[in-house]
Amino acid sequence: MVWSASPMTAVLFAVIVIAWGFSWFAIHLQIGTVPPEISIFWRFALSAVLMWLLLAVTGRLRRLDLRQHGWFALMGASLFGLNFVLIYSATQHIASGIVSVVFTMATIFNAFNQWALLKIAPKPRTLAGAAFGIVGIALLFADQIAGLGRDHGAALGIALAAAGTYVFSLGNLASVGAVKAGADLPNAVARGMTWGTLFLGIYGLARGHGFPIALTPTYLGSLVYLAVVASVIGFLAYLSLVARVGADRAAYSTVLFPLIALVVSTFLESYAWTLHALVGLALILIGNVVIFVRTPSRTAAPPPMGKTRRA
């Protein structure tokens, strides 16, 4: 049995899981301080500036056809706009760990959207691995999920998180379309983030919020993490992985996010491991093996020495 993923694919996968795994806690630190859409506006405004500077300094800034901005606008509206408005809103009703559980549905949404919109049928091993992972996540957070029935706002929070996840999935396909239209990924991300910032700014003004910012170490620290690590590094790594292995397999990284949330909770929130949580962890690892590990294909044995195979 051998790994089917290249070393670079494994590195990208690890970067995504770590960068986005801690982002849920960073998002939680921003809730209640500044209106969610304004926090997201500052996040992607900073990310867009960093992306443009990075492209300019490294000499990778490219002029792109105006017709390609349709794809960039779709990326901005989905990956860097509405997706996060819905996710941040969900964390106002349910715990960030539960939101991360719902976000694992990206694996299913990506496979479905590729089939429905691009006519690319998901591979059975991808669906099987995703099933292992999602069941594992449900077991990891079984106690928290069971408690949702006592919270009247929980259903709304789950619905918002699911909607945000589906929009994220559509954004995956928009990024693929942008690259197929001739844009390299870093330039597409920079323009997508710029469009997203523009949409968020208009939305914030329409709601009469203005652009407040909390000048506290906690808020500013979480903002820097979300803008630099989760957005610039995380999205470049994730969309690179989408380009390498497809949206359905890349989305499996979302199944591992809650593991990081559990590690954070273990040290900072006294999370207590249970038997079903350990079983859930095992299922997630099995799902990872199913998707990314393959057995070498068998080839026909050569004919014995001295004999030739007739045509």
pLDDT confidence tier of residue 5, bands split at 50, 70 and 90: low
Q: Looking at residue 270, what is its pLDDT?
A: 61
Residue keyed to tokens 């969610």: 36
Structure tokens at 136: 């594992």
Tell me, yes or no, whether 160 lies in a domain: yes
Tell me, yes or no, whether 30 lies in a domain: yes
* pLDDT tens per residue, range 87-126: 988 888 877 767 777 787 787 788 888 888 878 887 787 7
What single-letter DSSP state applies at residue 122? P
d(CA 228, CA 50): 8
Tell me, yes or no, whether 73 lies in a domain: yes
Tell me, yes or no, whether 303 lies in a domain: no
**Is the model more confident about 289 or about 268?**
289
Sign of CA dihedral 97, 99, 102, 103: negative
261 contacts 24 by C-beta, under 8 angstroms: yes
Single out the residue of 51, 108, 99 nearest to residue 76, CA to CA: 51
Number of domains in the chain: 1
159 contacts 105 by C-beta, under 8 angstroms: no
**Is the model more confident about 61 or about 310?**
61
pLDDT at position 188 over 60: yes
- Mapped onto helix, strand or coil, the DSSP state of residue 294 is strand
Residue keyed to tokens 């359905």: 248
* pLDDT tens per residue, range 290-304: 766 655 544 444 545
pLDDT at position 309 over 60: no
Tell me, yes or no, whether 310 lies in a domain: no
pLDDT confidence tier of residue 274, bands split at 50, 70 and 90: confident
pLDDT at position 212 over 50: yes
pLDDT averaged over the chain? 82
* pLDDT tens per residue, range 128-187: 887 887 888 778 767 666 766 665 677 788 889 889 999 999 998 898 899 888 898 899
Written as one letter, the residue type at 10 is A
Tell me, yes or no, whether 305 lies in a domain: no
pTM: 0.77
Q: Looking at residue 301, what is its pLDDT?
A: 47
Tell the burial category of 233 from Cβ atoms under 10 Å away from its Cβ (0-12, 13-18, 19+). Answer: middle
Question: What range defines the domain where residue 213 resides?
Answer: 2-294
